[in-house]
Chains A and B, each alone.
Chain A
Amino acid sequence: MASCYFNPIPTSSRLISADLSTKFNIPKLLHRKKRFGVLPRSSKVTAFYGLKTPPYEHDALEPYMSKKTIDIHWGEHHRNFIEGLNKQLEKDDILYGYTLDELVKVTYNNGNPSIEFNNAAEVWNHDFFWESMKPGGGDMPILGLLEQIEKDFGSFTNFKEKFTEAALTLFGSGWVWLVLKREEKQLAIVKTSNAICPIVWDHIPIINLDLWEHAYYLDYKNDREQYVNVFLNHLVSWNAATDRLTWGEAFVNLGEPKIPAA
């Protein structure tokens, strides 16, 4: 399940300080004043968010993604984003008590990201990325997801071509996403630079692929195309994607309007 959406709220959450809105232009929905009432200031907080482990062993994606790659990508890069984020939050506790989703949206600050955004979004993206893959992945999407892909891209083959093209034309570091767009009520492919996570535009992510060179350099060197092909043919978890789409359908009606009979 798309667990990124359901990060447990830290249990020792404090009252969000009132000057929060002077630092961030916070959407109404995210105001959480007195969610937990006034808690006494407890002892020094040392960690705000924890490092989530991938839902498989580090060698489970071999030979398509090596253990060495995951060891470093998760154990160094991902860990550094978490540690960097916690260190930043330690200095300034006005952001304390947010779910990771909220933190990403709030620190994006309508396109003028605050310093915490980069780490927060990278944590989100990497959590989501590990869950976007599975051992023995890369089969066909099933049922509703397949139908939706065919509806929005013409065919599954077409989707794969579009996704690959997006990955190969991303300039520099970043991510390629399959997202569900709320307004348009359709699936779309989105490219983002560096840390940007499409939840900041209110899209519902279905799949993401890390296109920073660190994600594939040890296994594929400069051959990004081979990495993308391997992801689509052997790694992507359409199960996770189906769960995420199902979750998204709670907010986006993808069917014909159902008008109850009188």
Chain B
Amino acid sequence: MAVRTLLTRKTLSSFLRNDPKPIGTAAISAAASTQSRDLHVYTLPDLAYDYGALEPVISGEIMQLHHQKHHQTYVTNYNKALEQLHDTVGKADASATVKLQSAIKFNGGGHINHSIFWKNLAPVREGGGEPPKEALGWAIDDHFGSLEALIQKVNAEGAALQGSGWVWLSLDKDSKRLTVETTANQDPLVTKGPFLVPLLGIDVWEHAYYLQYKNVRPDYLKNIWKVINWKYASEVYEKEAYLVNQEDRP
């Protein structure tokens, strides 16, 4: 979507045109403060809870590194790649533009996925781990038999995922089906299907658990359910499942 916006943009900002320096981090921060510029700059979202609030399930150290370092790096590199894209598109440099796609997908995906992940978690005292009720609860029973069966399935697929990636509880807006999906690296869920909406995404990169769980990914997966924010997943489900009936189909 961002790519299309850029491609149809008619004017490049004077900042980019006149700046002889190679585009880099310095250029981005300068650009961010330039009023004339209309390229959106992504920023790291705040968490709704303290870094230590998910302990003992996820340590404060993990949360802090994960948010301040990993997620920040995806944001920084996504902005950098979009700057470069702006530039290569302006210069009509097709091969450089195409070359940027993998960095955009990886870093943009990293930003999208982590933004969802933080909302999928909540401290126990704020309702973390409380099972889903009503619509989503019933839908889970319908599709998987029980919440316990869904958890087993997510844990099994998350543990079996080779390398780095994500395991999702997904809603297909089109068929209204709930499924468990996995994506590699930072591929967002939508790469698995145009109608898929993430209700819940669990990061199974090693950085998400290594300092605490080392190589034992299954223990991380087993424990994370104690801080899953089902309220958020339910809200997304109710909104998206309802919207399905209103939406114009392409």
Least CB separation from A217: chain B residue: B210
Partner of A172, one of B69, B73, B165, B210: B165
B29 contacts across to A, CB distance below 8 A: none
Partner of A173, one of B65, B102, B163, B214: B163
Q: Do B162 and A171 touch (CB < 8 A)?
A: no
Stretch from A58-66, A72-80, A151-159 forming part of the interface with B: A72-80
Q: Do B186 and A172 touch (CB < 8 A)?
A: yes
Q: How far is the CB of B67 from chain A (nearest CB, A)?
A: 11
A214 to B215, CA, bound (A): 8
Q: Do B206 and A222 touch (CB < 8 A)?
A: no
Q: Do B214 and A72 touch (CB < 8 A)?
A: yes
**B residues touching A (Cβ–Cβ < 8 Å)?**
65, 69-70, 73, 102, 106, 162-165, 184-186, 205-207, 210-211, 214-215
Q: How many residues of A contact B (CB 8 A)?
A: 19
Known A-B contacts A172-B186, A217-B207; the reply to A76 vs B214 at CB < 8 A is yes
Could you write out 24 A-B pairs with CB less than 8 Å apart?
A: A72-B215, A76-B215, A118-B162, A171-B106, A171-B186, A172-B164, A172-B165, A172-B186, A173-B206, A174-B163, A194-B162, A212-B206, A213-B164, A213-B205, A213-B207, A214-B210, A214-B214, A214-B215, A217-B207, A217-B210, A218-B210, A221-B69, A222-B65, A222-B69
B65 contacts across to A, CB distance below 8 A: 221-222
Whether A195 is near chain B, meaning CB under 8 Å from some CB there, is: yes
Least CB separation from B205: chain A residue: A213
Q: How far is the CB of B150 from chain A (nearest CB, A)?
A: 25
A172 contacts across to B, CB distance below 8 A: 163-165, 184-186, 205
Least CB separation from A169: chain B residue: B103
Q: How far is the CB of A73 from chain B (nearest CB, A)?
A: 9
Q: How far is the CB of B15 from chain A (nearest CB, A)?
A: 27
Looking at B69, B73, B211, B215, the one whose CB has the most chain A CB atoms below 10 A away is: B215
Q: Do A77 and B102 touch (CB < 8 A)?
A: no
Least CB separation from B215: chain A residue: A76
Whether A193 is near chain B, meaning CB under 8 Å from some CB there, is: yes
* CB-contacts of A165-179 with B (<8 A): 171-174
A222 to B215, CA, bound (A): 16
A25 to B214, CA, bound (A): 37
Q: Do B102 and A171 touch (CB < 8 A)?
A: yes
Least CB separation from A73: chain B residue: B215
